[in-house]
Structure formats: C-alpha cells, structure tokens
Homo-oligomer: A and B are copies of this chain.
Amino acid sequence: MTGVEGTTRRFGHLELHFSGGATLRDIVIGMSDGLTVPFALAAGISGAIQSTHVIVTAGLAEVAAGSIAMALGGYLSAKSEAEHYDRERRRERREIVETPETEAREVTGALVGYGLSAAEAAPVVVALRRRPEAWADFMMRFELGLERPMPGRALASALTIGGAYVVGGLIPLFPYMVVGQAARGLLISSALTAAALAVFGYVKCRFTNMPPIRSTLQTVLIGGAAAGAAFAIARAISV
C-alpha cells in the first residue's frame, strides 16, 4: 500500500515537472532571448546609425523574425520529440513480442548495472514478461531515459515561447519609439532593459533553484555582454 502511495506521489511530482514546469520553462526561454537580442541589436545599431527610425525598424523586424523562428523551432522540436517517443515506444513493443529473450537480457543487464545479481533481477524480468505494456514503459525510462511527452505540448510551447519573446523584445525598443534621439534612446533603453532583466533574473531563480543574487546578476550580465559586443561590432564597421 505504501508502495502504491509512493508511486502516486511520484507521478504527481512528474506531472508537475512536465506541465507547469514546461510552460514556465518556455516563458524563460522566450523572454531570455526576447529581452536580450532586440535590446543588444538596437544598442548595436545606435553605435553606428543615429536614426531612431532605422533602429526601431530593425528592432521590430528582429522581434518578428526572432519570435517566429523561436516559436516554430519550439513547435517542431516538441513535435519531433513526441514522434521520437512514439517511434521508440512502438519499437520496444515490437521487440518485446519478437525478441523477448534479448529484451529480458537488457532488463537484467540494466539491473546488474545497479549492482543486483542476475538471480536478484530475475523476479523483475518474470513480472515484466507478464505485462508487455508496463515492460515497454520500463524500457523507455530505463534503457532509453525517455519521458512520455504531454499531448498538445507542441502548440502551447510555440505560442508561449513566441509570445514571451514579443513581450520581452518590445521593452527595450519602446524608448527609441518615444525619444527622437538615438543616444538618449540607448540610455533609457539600457536602464529599462537592465531593470527588466534584473526582475526577470530574480523571478527566474525561483524556477531554476539558483541563488537570487547570482541569477539576477547573470541575467543582466548576459544582456550587457551581448549588447556590448553588438555595439562594438557595429561601431567598428561604421568607422
């Protein structure tokens, strides 16, 4: 009975890890790049070109390109992950029917790898042999280390990543839209984006289990480093 309880708790834990956790992760992925790259691009161009119109045009084009590339990339990667799982699961099911001895040896081998003797592993093999579906699930996790993906993840993942990128990307561009001068736009954009990155880095640490100060500093520094490099390159080629 305690065993079953343990399993339920663990399934609950996995569930949490793969639904709420996945959405949060997608927001972090989209917003990290959204706050960083359009900011760095706008800052970089402002080192070479004075027109805020050009900076805003390039920035918005980047937000469009970046969000779509990331959203479609996220969609396809979630999709192909799900297909990969299904394909491997079908292969395991087939192998269990066609070459059960080989599969049974793989179960024994995996357990021997954890220090069991072949004799100690034998009851597990016998039990799995009676339950082909559970056996396939066991192989998926144990032999291949694969988790069953959530259904419908691909579309949700795409929209979340893309949306987070757009939200993050508009923040650093906003100052250039309202201030007519590139240098002043850069100043306000830098301050605003640094503040947004700091808040984001701080909030993110609750998800990544990183110490708050380190997470905040790291996030701000990545944005700063990317912007500095873009600024230096744009300035170098414009001289």
Binding site for B on A (CB under 8 A): 2-7, 9-11, 14, 32-33, 36-37, 40-41, 44-45, 47-49, 53-54, 56-58, 60-66, 68-70, 72-73, 76, 80, 83-84, 87, 105-106, 108-118, 120-121, 123-124, 126-128, 130-131, 134-135, 137-138, 141-143, 145, 147, 208-210, 218, 222-223, 225-227, 229-234, 237-238
What distance in Å separates the Cβ of A55 from its nearest Cβ neighbour in chain B?
9
Count of this chain's copies in the oligomeric assembly: 2
Most B CB contacts (10 A, CB to CB) among A44, A76, A226, A231 go to A226
Contacting residues, chain B, for A48 (C-beta < 8 A): 57, 61
Asked if A127 meets B115 with Cβ closer than 8 Å, knowing A57-B45, A61-B234, the reply is: yes
Asked whether A108 lies within 8 Å of B37 as measured between CB atoms, the reply is no
Determine how close the nearest CB of chain B comes to the CB of A38; give it in whole angstroms.
8
Q: A76-B222, A126-B120 are in contact. Are A3 and B105 (CB under 8 A)?
A: yes
Is the contact region of chain A dominated by helix, strand, or loop, or is it mixed? helix
With known contacts A58-B58, A64-B233, A110-B7, A115–B134 Cβ distance under 8 A? yes
Closest partner residue, chain B, to A46 (CB atom)? B61
A68 and chain B: residue at smallest CB distance: B226
**A136 CB to closest chain B CB, in angstroms?**
10
Distance, CA A124 to CA B123, complexed state (A) = 9
Q: Which of A54, A138, A230 has the largest count of B CB atoms less than 10 A from its CB?
A: A230
